Amino acid sequence: MESTGNHNPKRQRTVFLTVFGFLVLLTGLSFWVANSWIMEDRMIGWAVMLGISACKAMLVIAFFMHLWWESSWKYALTIPALFMGSMLVLLLVPDIGMRTDHYPKTRERLSPQAVTVPEATGNVSSSQDRTKS
Amino acid sequence: MAPQQTNSKPSDDAKEQPAPLVYQRAMPMSRGKLAIWLFLSTEIMFFTALIGTYIVLRFGAPEGSWPTPAQVGVMEWLGAINTFVLICSSVTIVFAYESAKSDRIRAARGWLLVTTLLAFGFLGVKGIEYASKYSHGLYPQSPRSLLHDRSDVYYLSHFSLQLKQRIAELEDQKTPTDHHDPATLETLYLIQSGMLNWTENKVGVSNDPNMKRLALESFAHQIHPLADRPDIDKYLADERADLEEQQQTIAPQFSDLESKLEAAQKQISQLSDSIAKLESNRKSKPNVNGDFPPPTEIEQKNKAQLEDAEKTAKDATESISLLKQQMNPIERRLEAQSRFNQFEDGINEHFHLKLPMVIPNGNTWANTYFMLTGFHALHVVIGIFVFLILLPLELDRKRAKVMENVGLYWHFVDIVWIFLFPMIYLF
């Protein structure tokens, strides 16, 4: 019933400190990934970093939040919620995630050409042009 | 519906008393814990959607079209410190719970106090970051933020509007303050004439779309550079050489006209002197009728010459003012270039001007950054409130359950940050 009741406190403390050590280590690892050759393909680098974050999250959930020692209600409360959130996000992928897949190159480089500045004819600028609004 | 007695079970109701209502626990845990877990599962949905949306936006942005942490002044080490702080606080809240469970009240309170201090530390670092974002103008604004996706005419017009407003504000200030000295006003005038008007002119006059693009991009680059741009450096150097050449061709014309004007003015003064003398001579000798003798031939000739000289002088003055009109923008442009080219961090940054700048997807970045970190910071603030309520209480075995629930919430806050850290600081 009590989440971690059966364990002896000293052992518990070792578990928590070990988890803490792993969390710090994994943070350092994602820092390393961000500045390493893995980032040559940035998508892979990001995926690796998110994977590391997922590992850290699992460690926190399993040990600090005691889900490792809980009964199976934990699945009922967490997995559907995660699924709902992910579905919302996946719905964005076609329109937002792939928004620039088919841009022509000109759209990235050139500003709209039809628009011009109307009052710009010849010598308009001078130091006396100090405009007050 | 009225209750109807059926013949099949006539005596059941009469015999059976309603059973006393007994709550059966559906799950092997306290109601408080169930409630906090239900709350956390809605939080999972909330933050999965929020973080996932950021990931979709970020993964979908082509290379170079999303600000790097360095471009928006996000410092990796600050994020790393905050990550460490939150991980530590996660451990301390676990220790606080374990101490409360085994009735070590003082230890529980001590660990909770450490957790609270770490949470304040986190908010402090966050505050430093937010302040730096604010001082650089990197935040959402209504009706429009200072961040533009591309250097186009809309950017120029927004820039122009903001610059005019800023100049008007400074002109209205009677005494200069620490932030706005007279030099700032001069700088703004120079930006207006030597950069903004020049670029507007260039964009309006040029028919070459590439030229327009370069003019606009070099303007945006000088206001807020994002990366080294050799093409812009070359464009500006070429422009400078061209302008200096123009200046050199105009300069002799200018001195020619000035000497012409000087000669004409000298002639005018001589002629008017002699005319005055001749006239006074003539007028000193009136004839019998009291009339003056008619002007002599010399006097008439002088007058005609005077008219000619005056015309020459007028023409020269007009030409000089025309040339000046032509020279002025060139001079202002050259002055602006020689003054501003040296600033590698850009004019905006160097003078703390907070004028509109071009950062591709900068506005989306600012929105998502403040949305994500803001909601997270809000959770930290709520956590701190709860800690402060718990701190004065006796944190014994009876309150261990409350401590556990608070701990669950706090670990969730930590998990959210675990995902935010690489996304915001390392991507």
The tens digit of pLDDT for each residue in A112-123 reads 333 334 444 444
* Full DSSP string of B225-283: --S--HHHHHHHHHHHHHHHHHHHHHHHHHHHHHHHHHHHHHHHHHHHHHHHHHHHHHH
User: Is B91–A16 a contact, with Cβ atoms under 8 angstroms apart?
Assistant: yes
Query: Running DSSP on this structure, what letter comes out for residue A66?
Result: -
Separation of alpha carbons B181 and A55, rounded Å: 53
Best residue of B418, B421, B424 to probe chain A, by most A CBs closer than 10 Å: B418
Distances (CA, A) of A98 to A44, A88, A103, B65, B366: 17, 16, 10, 14, 21
Residue B397: list chain A partners with CB under 8 A. none
Q: Which residue of B has its CA nearest to A111?
A: B152
Best residue of A63, A65, A95 to probe chain B, by most B CBs closer than 10 Å: A65
The four Cα atoms B114, B119, B124, B125 give a dihedral, to 10 degrees, of 110
Query: Running DSSP on this structure, what letter comes out for residue B345?
Result: T
Mean pLDDT along residues B319-342: 88
User: Is A121–B205 a contact, with Cβ atoms under 8 angstroms apart?
Assistant: yes
Mean pLDDT along residues B285-307: 81
Return the pLDDT at A7.
57
Do the beta carbons of residue B275 and residue B306 sit within 8 Å? yes
Query: Among the listed ranges B6-10, B32-36, B97-101, which one has the minimum average pLDDT value?
Result: B6-10
Separation of alpha carbons B307 and B217, rounded Å: 53
Quote ipTM for the complex.
0.76
Between B155 and B179, where is the model more confident? B155
Residue in A82, A111, A123 nearest the CB of B325: A123
pLDDT band at A3, cuts 50/70/90?
very low
Rg (CA), chain A: 27
Q: Which residue of A has its CA nearest to B172?
A: A132
Question: By the CB < 8 Å criterion, does A111 face chain B?
Answer: yes
Mean pLDDT along residues A8-29: 90
Rg (CA), chain B: 40
Distances (CA, A) of B203 to A124, B160, B326: 13, 14, 18
Q: Which residue of A has its CA nearest to B192?
A: A130
Return the pLDDT at A24.
94
Closest C-alpha to B187, from B344, B358, B355: B355
Cβ count within 10 A of residue B397: 13
- Chain segment B50-87, per-residue pLDDT in tens: 999 999 999 888 877 889 888 888 888 999 999 999 99
Mean pLDDT along residues B217-232: 89
Distances (CA, A) of B152 to A133, B87, B149, B336: 23, 45, 9, 21
pLDDT surpasses 70 at B14: no
Q: Which residue of A has its CA nearest to B170?
A: A132
Q: Which residue of B has its CA nearest to A97?
A: B60
- Chain segment B18-51, per-residue pLDDT in tens: 777 766 556 667 888 989 999 999 999 999 999 9
Separation of alpha carbons B279 and B265, rounded Å: 21
Residue A78: list chain B partners with CB under 8 A. 41, 44
Query: What percentage of chain B carries pLDDT values higher than 90?
Result: 48
Query: Running DSSP on this structure, what letter comes out for residue B17?
Result: P
Helix (H, G, I), strand (E, B) or coil at B148: strand
Separation of alpha carbons B349 and B226, rounded Å: 12
Mean pLDDT along residues B150-173: 89
Residue A1: list chain B partners with CB under 8 A. 28-29
Return the pLDDT at B180.
57
pLDDT surpasses 60 at A36: yes
User: Is B332–A88 a contact, with Cβ atoms under 8 angstroms apart?
Assistant: no
**Chain A residues 49-88 within an 8 A CB cutoff of chain B:** 49-50, 52-53, 56-57, 60-61, 64-65, 70-71, 73, 77-78, 80-82, 84-86, 88
Q: Rounded to the nearest 5°, which phi and psi values hold at A123?
A: -95, 90
Matching residue, tokens 């809605």: B42
pLDDT surpasses 90 at B378: yes
Helix (H, G, I), strand (E, B) or coil at B358: strand
Residues, chain A, total? Answer: 133
Mean pLDDT along residues A43-49: 93
Identify residue B410 by its one-letter amino acid code: W
CB burial of residue B175 (10 Å; 0-12, 13-18, 19+): exposed
Cβ count within 10 A of residue B121: 16
CA distance A125 to chain B (A): 6
Backbone region of residue B62 per phi and psi (left: phi > 0; alpha: psi in -120 to 50; beta: other values)? beta
* Residues B39-74: b if buried by 16+ CB within 10 A, e if exposed: ebbebbbebbbbbbbbbbbbbbbeeebbbeeebbeb
Distances (CA, A) of B76 to A34, B17, B72: 10, 70, 12
Helix axes B362-390, B400-421, angle to 10 degrees: 160
Q: In the structure encoding, which two tokens stand for residue B191, read together?
A: 């930006």
Helix axes B209-223, B153-172, angle to 10 degrees: 40
Residue B40: list chain A partners with CB under 8 A. 77
